[in-house]
Amino acid sequence: MIQEPERRLFSLTSLTMMIRLGGRVMKRIDSDRRQTLRQLSALTLAPLLPAGALASTVSAIHALPRFALVIGNSRYAEAPLKNPANDASAIAEELKRFGFAVSMQLDARRSAMEEGIRAFSQGVARQKGVGLFYFAGHGLQLSWRNFLVPVDAVLDHAESVPRQAIDLTTLLDGLNKAGNPMNIVILDACRDNPFGSELKTGKGLSQMDAPLGTLLAYATAPGNVASDGASANGLYTEHLLREMRTPEARIEDVFKRVRLGVRRASNGRQIPWESTSLEEDFYFLPPASLKKLSQEELDRRFAEERALWERARQSMEAARLEEYIRRYPSGRFVELAQMRLDRILARQGEERIRIASPQGNPFSKGTVSADTHFRIGDRFSYQRVDLLTRVVTSTFTMTVTAIDDTEVIYDKGVFITDLLGNAVKLANGERLRSPQLLPTEFAVGKKWRTRYRLDYPDGRQDWVEYDFKVVARETVVVPAGTFDAFRVEGKGWVMGIGFSLDTKYWVAPDKVRRAVAYEFLWRERSGRIYKYDREELVSYKHAP
């Protein structure tokens, strides 16, 4: 019979790794392994609390000067645009209200854009402030590079693009050399190439990963085009202006709300995209202060969020899900809400655009959507390796035997996940309530959080909290083969028993519907290492 501490830890293997199939009794750790554990514990590794459990303060970033260069080009000789000058003027006025020193150019020639970018980069370098660059107008890609088009450009051949347009890397390189702590680059420049059939360029703009300390925002997903808008502003900037004015909204949340608003307004034909490497929160309208919250206040706020999510989850209505996403764009259930919303809108006829493939792109690791198209008959086999001894301790296989509107069922109910792949029922009868261990899409720099309840068969409960981040895209070798995979790292804790959880997993969502490898390290409250294992994909078969 499994003793109580072992029983609870056994459940965490399944909970954290999402693939443990059950009923297997943990083998007793041999004397050599116990000795190794004691030696590693001597390294005094302290338990790690997730960032959400710590106090927040208004970042010192808001004490720094703010600078902006805003460019709006409408009066192109060959292909004039209606709204970029209006968009730039409106953005400039808002930024002034937010404390930015703004330099604005309307219908700028190439020489003016070059000089403006040079002066902007030098300014943020001198003052070490926050820099914001906004461009509305024509943009195009050539050989994976993005170019912003001045109004005096004459683009009749591909060779003329580098000579007459502004390479975006010129701006990014200048900001990188500036060494200032934060930059925001916004490109409402993804309209289709209008410069004649002889100019062969890619559609829209190419994906680029944000440099360190930068948020890079596009009006639409890479490889797609954006609307110039039917009103006084372009569709993207119309929503951006609205969301920027929201008090105390983190900048990532601003752009997430913009994405939802533009998507719904365009019925999925335009979906904004961002890449971020920001490590600090930034607010256009920061709160006066963010004092340390008590655990009671943190729990109260989470209870409010969870209640709204439960209403949205149970209703299965698009409006309810949108309400949750707008209120909690970085919430602990937002990936789950997004997945459900995607399915509902698809049934309603939304023809959602797709991000262009990053294959061959030297400037990006790419963005890949999670593969949620599980099929009855999908089969995945894994082996478990003790990372302390490098010994294979067990193997197991899981096969999809049923799928319904919300769940994927393995081995006739032995193990169950939601449609995104998160475990919701374990082999020993434990239930996980809305865990968000997987995102809807993978891109380097993406971050999310989760907090969920673990229900034991005997009626007891515990809570688990995690912070996750996609930290790299790299080659991983497992028995099933070699995969170009995203590496995800999570740090969390089990609140009741006080265990800290350090998790890594590798996913190749364009190749395999489940993860290809997992690593997890458990530490007791004292810091003593209890378990250090790796689970690797041995073989898999996707049903047709």
In whole angstroms, give the CA distance from residue 275 to residue 207. 9
88 three-class SS: helix
Those residues with Cβ within 8 angstroms of residue 126's Cβ, 6 or more apart along the chain or in another chain: none
Those residues with Cβ within 8 angstroms of residue 237's Cβ, 6 or more apart along the chain or in another chain: 83, 87, 90, 91, 136, 188, 219, 229
Based on C-alpha coordinates, what's the Rg of the chain?
Answer: 25
In whole angstroms, give the CA distance from residue 544 to residue 58. 52
| Chain-centre distance for alpha carbon 140 | 25
pTM for this predicted structure = 0.86
Contact at 8 Å (CB) between 70 and 88? yes
β-strand partners of 506? 487, 517
Half-sphere exposure of 501 (CA within 13 A, CB side): 28
Given the candidates 2.40.128.30, 3.40.50.12500, 3.40.50.1460, 3.40.50.1970, the CATH classification of the domain at 60-276 is 3.40.50.1460
User: Three-state SS string across 126-144, please?
Assistant: HHCCEEEEEEECCEEEECC
Where are the domain boundaries for CATH 2.40.360 in the chain? 4-53+368-541
Fold topology of 4-53+368-541? YmcC-like fold (2.40.360)
Those residues with Cβ within 8 angstroms of residue 190's Cβ, 6 or more apart along the chain or in another chain: 139, 204, 205, 218, 219, 220, 224, 225, 226
In whole angstroms, give the CA distance from residue 480 to residue 159. 45
Half-sphere exposure of 235 (CA within 13 A, CB side): 25
What are the structure tokens assigned to 140, written together? Answer: 């195009």
Where are the domain boundaries for CATH 3.40.50.1460 in the chain? 60-276
In whole angstroms, give the CA distance from residue 54 to residue 410. 38
In whole angstroms, give the CA distance from residue 476 to residue 413. 31
Per-residue pLDDT of the chain (544 residues; tens, 9 = 90+): 333 333 333 344 343 343 333 333 333 334 443 443 333 333 333 233 333 333 344 568 999 999 999 999 999 988 899 999 999 999 999 999 999 999 999 999 999 999 999 999 999 999 999 999 999 999 998 888 999 999 999 888 888 899 999 999 999 999 999 999 999 999 998 665 566 544 555 677 889 999 999 999 999 988 788 776 667 899 999 999 999 999 999 999 999 999 999 999 999 999 999 999 998 999 999 987 767 788 898 899 999 999 999 999 999 899 999 999 999 999 999 999 999 999 999 999 998 887 777 788 899 999 999 999 999 999 999 999 999 999 999 999 999 999 999 999 999 999 999 999 999 999 889 999 999 999 999 999 999 999 999 999 999 999 999 999 999 999 999 999 999 999 999 999 999 888 899 999 999 999 999 999 999 998 998 888 888 999 999 999 999 9
Closest to 146 in 3D by CA, of 201, 101, 65 = 201
User: Three-state SS string across 283-339, please?
Assistant: ECCCCCCCCCCCHHHHHHHHHHHHHHHHHHHHHCCHHHHHHHHHHCCCCCCHHHHHH
Kindly tell me the number of DSSP H helices and DSSP E strands found in the chain: 11, 23
In this structure, which amino acid lies at residue 503? T
In whole angstroms, give the CA distance from residue 418 to residue 424. 6
Contact at 8 Å (CB) between 136 and 88? yes
**C-alpha to C-alpha distances, 219 to 31, 107, 165, nearest whole angstrom:** 59, 19, 19
